[in-house]
Amino acid sequence: MHIRAARRDELTDLQDIERAAGLCFRDIGMPEIADDEPLPVGELDRYVAAGLAWVAVDGDSDGEGEGEDGAEAGDSPPAAYLIADRVDGALHVEQVSVHPDHARRAIGRALLEHLAEHAVLERVPALTLTTFTEVPWNAPYYERCGFRRLDDGELTPGLREIRAREAEHGLDRWPRVCMHRAL
């Protein structure tokens, strides 16, 4: 897989990835999450314009040259994506999703590492995110990726605001946590 900046012509692909990835929540008794619509194209476009949206696509590691089918490397449809925001001096993982057809290949981890490298280049000291505590591919997964759970007293104003919006959206029906990864 090759990671590159997301393009505007791929925004509906990102929505499709999110819908497909969300279906597994139905299997663990969270159908509301499975049925939740992805961000609108206009919102996703904001991340692309800010340079804070990346996709994982089939292709070589440097993104140069042609693939086996003659297409430019990295031109295949995205298999996964990550979008981030700037929150209180950190880069906040707003969403990372891998299409189920490409799951269990460390693509999500590669996207997180790409974001970490981007953050280091920008001299950003940390990554943050919010996630479900009891979903195996959420908080336990992120802990394996170097994130740690934050206590309420460690939350920055921006993270508190994000958690408040999530609560308004009904996400607090299931236990959630803010997480931090120092870089």
Please state which CATH number belongs to domain 2-182. Answer: 3.40.630.30
Q: Is the pLDDT of residue 66 over 70?
A: no
pLDDT category of residue 74 using cuts at 50, 70 and 90: low
Percent of the chain past pLDDT 90, that is, above it, reads: 89
Domain residue extents for the chain: 2-182
Check residue 59 and give its pLDDT: 77
Instruction: With residue 149 as reference, give the H or E element that holds it.
Output: strand 148-149
How sure is the predictor about 131, in pLDDT bands with cuts at 50, 70 and 90? Answer: very high
- Point out which residues pair with 127 in neighbouring strands: 91, 181
Average pLDDT rounded to a whole number, residues 111-139: 97
pLDDT for res 62: 45
Which two tokens mark 85? 């925001």
CA of 86: how far to CAs of 102, 159, 167, 175, in Å?
28, 11, 20, 24
**What's the sign of the alpha-carbon dihedral 14, 57, 119, 148?**
positive
Q: In a 3-state reduction of DSSP, which class is residue 141?
A: helix
pLDDT in the model for residue 109 = 97
pLDDT band at 54 (very low <50, low <70, confident <90, very high): very high
For 162-183, how does the pLDDT look when each residue is reduced to its tens digit (9 = 90+)?
Answer: 999 999 999 999 999 999 999 9
pTM over 0.95: no
**Residue 102 — pLDDT band, cuts 50, 70, 90?**
very high
- Quickly list H helices, 56-126: 107-121
Q: What is the dihedral of CA 121, 127, 47, 40, to 10 degrees?
A: 160
Tokens of residue 165, six digits: 């919006």
Does 77 have pLDDT greater than 70? Answer: yes
pLDDT score recorded for residue 162? 98
Q: Answer yes or no: is pLDDT of 129 > 50.
A: yes
128-to-95, 115, 150 alpha-carbon distances in Å = 11, 11, 10
Contact by Cβ (8 Å): 135, 22: no
